[in-house]
Structure 1
């Protein structure tokens, strides 16, 4: 069996900063260190990766617990803002004062009407002192009504200000909780990447038969997905394709593609990957085969400027819970002269998972994150061992709509509980649709 130096994903970042790791990157530096000691130090060992994976798991568990604790605080805060909180007490008092001022104004207005009616009812020959008294009573009633109107305006203003202050507190509480949700998202992304880095490093170690020279990153080797929609529905099969391109001016004797799919439910706490089945086929090997260990060995050799397309088929069991997922795509190569390398990074394609029977609505093809350093060009690339550059589709999943995924690997986005009708209303009205 030939030596295969598969891409070791995110090893350096997984060791140094697992919490902020958002994508998969190769285990080799952009430039080769001059000293052998520096080279060895720059490449983490399996023990290092095991430690990084454990730390990432610990950080994720801690983030999940912090989010749960924050949820309790949020609930208590929202309940207090409806009852015992000082802002709630102030708002209730201001509202009552506004009601009392309104009642006083209504009474004063009625008194004016009554005084005017009394004055108008006096006969023309009524005594002057009686007319004077009636006119004085009307004047006093109008003055009282004017004072009541001013008091009502002031009370209404205070009530509105008190209500707004309480609304602001609700929004602030919801925003504070959102920070913990983001922390869970980042920690989960780091955990997935660290686990993937460890698994791939172990696989490399098993396949390594000699030390050889270190693999080099190859910007001109690219792997690109087309036709993978941003929304998938449980109980359906989605077809897409992976195009591997040798944009360099040298032959690559053996090219291997990496396609890994990860997913969780909406809470981000439950891995739902067991409900997924990923298969591939090519023109040279048209029979559908299951993807094993996330590697596809059927690419073969690629001449300079050549490319090949792999047909992919992703099936979601009907029992797949709604949630979110990502597909990681990369490629690496090995030459008979011992040189080897791979794409500088593994691109991440996000997608939403809808429950069985759902309508995906408007969707679009998933876009890679981060963007490729170099993209395969259309000029001078000769299809090799490829059926078509256009991926097959099942139904309309690959052709309609746009993804609702809004965060990097948004596997834990979305609130776990209803925050209360008042808070939701405030957030939508005053934050113009921002995520609460």
Structure 2
């Protein structure tokens, strides 16, 4: 069964953390020959893997904090190497001033000797010559001291710079490790959730139903903190059978620009429909049950609203939207979910505008500047890049690999219950 390979891969990710960022797509690919399919992990094994992934993530977060403190200390004026470099620079500057003073003393002594009158006594001339000689000796010593001080100042400055560079590199690696372990933790948690779900349900999985389609229109490519945007969803029964109960699945995921921090708490999805006009928040179940029954060829429309809290930081996000149906004799899933990626802009201190109007569901009209939906295949476990040859890769490489991995895992493990369990 394909889900077994997905689960096994998720466990492997949790154990081989360093490879996560380079294998986001393989984490969901179902390409291994059947003869090489690993045995399905037990819940106990998955719990252990999830615990290890959590431990690795916690350690990475702690290491990143320490690395950041090291960077701050290295950049501080009070850092030991910075203090030493500053002192060495001051010594070099003082040596330069001393050399200038000594050079001027030589010039003055020479001028004084040259200015002696012809009738000056030998004693006076000897004294002036001695002063010039002593000034030249002092100037040579000052020059040597200046050269030595400059070399020491450069060496001390280089040491301080090297420490800053080393601290910055260590922090960069620590941040990367945090991203990797977050992705591993997300995959391991998703695998465990799915295994527990299967264990509790004890039933078969719903089948894929290509004739059940979900179309999203009016979704923006950018949103701003403190705003709300309305868009439309149409679920169509394009099969030759009636569907007794049709649900819409909707979820939103987001991280900050670094891709390491989950900021989904600042985003809320709300829905409304003709039969239920009052806006309601999509609950933790992630299913919207307003469409109800759909006869063959019929469609149901709902509107969704993405509310972005004014405190939301800049970042990137995506939504997963799909349709499922439940009949007495079985259930089915939309094979290709609509994935909409979008950028999040921090608030600019402007009043919160009213939600933007969306084009009518199913009209095929996409407002100017809106983002396009990218279908995601949920059968083989591959995040499909339909509609854009490398759409998923672009999302992953945009600094949000953990968003893609986590959202994809959450989508794949969503409940596939029979009609009686729905």
CA contact (8 A) 2:112 2:128 kept: yes
Matched with 2:413 is none
CA contact (8 A) 2:178 2:260 kept: no
- 3-state SS of the aligned residue for 1:122? coil
Matched with 2:115 is 121
CA contact (8 A) 1:309 1:388 kept: no
Question: Does residue 386 of the first structure (1) align with residue 379 of the second (2)?
Answer: no
Question: Per-residue CA shift, 1:154-185, capped at 9, x if unaligned?
Answer: 42233123112112112212332332233223
Question: Does residue 326 of the first structure (1) align with residue 322 of the second (2)?
Answer: no
Question: Does residue 11 of the first structure (1) align with residue 7 of the second (2)?
Answer: yes
Question: Does residue 357 of the first structure (1) align with residue 349 of the second (2)?
Answer: yes
CA contact (8 A) 2:109 2:135 kept: yes
**Equivalent runs, 1:26-425 vs 2, <5 Å:** 30=30, 34=34, 41=38, 49-70=46-67, 82=78, 85=80, 87=81, 91=85, 94-95=88-89, 97-123=91-117, 126=120, 134=128, 138=132, 141-142=135-136, 144-145=138-139, 148-149=142-143, 151-199=145-193, 210=204, 227-229=219-221, 232-233=224-225, 235-239=226-230, 258-262=249-253, 273-280=264-271, 290-292=281-283, 293-295=285-287, 312-318=304-310, 320=311, 322=313, 324=315, 326-329=317-320, 331=322, 342-343=335-336, 349=341, 351-352=343-344, 354=346, 357=349, 386-391=362-367, 407-408=399-400
CA contact (8 A) 1:8 1:26 kept: no
The runs of 5 or more residues in structure 2 that have no matched partner are: 353-358, 371-394, 404-422
- C-alpha RMSD of matched pairs (Å): 5.9
Aligned residues: 357
Mapped to 2, the partners of 1:278 and 1:8 lie a distance apart of 31
Structure 1 pair 308–33 and aligned structure 2 pair: CA distance change class (3 A) = farther
Give the TM-score taking structure 2 as reference length: 0.58
Mapped to 2, the partners of 1:142 and 1:207 lie a distance apart of 97
Structure 1 pair 338–410 and aligned structure 2 pair: CA distance change class (3 A) = closer
CA contact (8 A) 2:5 2:30 kept: no
Question: Alpha-carbon deviation of 1:105?
Answer: 0.6
Question: Alpha-carbon deviation of 1:34?
Answer: 4.9
Question: Per-residue CA shift, 1:79-120, capped at 9, x if unaligned?
Answer: 7x846x5x4675366335424422431331231232133134
The runs of 5 or more residues in structure 1 that have no matched partner are: 361-382, 395-402, 412-436
Question: Alpha-carbon deviation of 1:314?
Answer: 1.2
Greater fraction of residues in helix: 2
Question: Per-residue CA shift, 1:229-259, capped at 9, x if unaligned?
Answer: 55631x321345679999xxx9698897654
CA contact (8 A) 2:251 2:321 kept: no
Give the TM-score taking structure 1 as reference length: 0.56
Mapped to 2, the partners of 1:316 and 1:155 lie a distance apart of 58
Matched with 1:372 is none
Question: Alpha-carbon deviation of 1:17?
Answer: 1.1
